[in-house]
Amino acid sequence: MNNRGGTNTKATISMVLGIVSLIFDITFIVGIIAIVLGIMAKNEIKYSNEEGDGFATAGIITGILGIVGHLIFWILMLVFGISFFSIFNFIF
């Protein structure tokens, strides 16, 4: 019989914040918090009877993907914004 505890709360919050960082362009902070909570949850799960290792891993991965996605978005905005304004100034 499996006597494991419930799901680790930090793992659940990490997964939810990781998904939020993928969907909404809020800030980099959400992705960072998802990664930190995921790492903390994995350490807690290792020494406890709790479940949620998959949630913690999902939070870490989605947090990283959210940060990388935001970086790519802002780099493209910077590149296309500069090129747009240089074309705009050239025309006028």
Length of the chain: 92
> What are the φ/ψ torsions at residue 5 (nearest 5 degrees)?
-80, -170
Rounded distance between C-alpha atoms, residue 52 and residue 28, angstroms? 24
Q: Which parts of the chain sit beneath pLDDT 50?
A: 1-3
pLDDT at 1: 35
pLDDT at 53: 95
- pTM score, whole prediction: 0.81
pLDDT at 49: 87
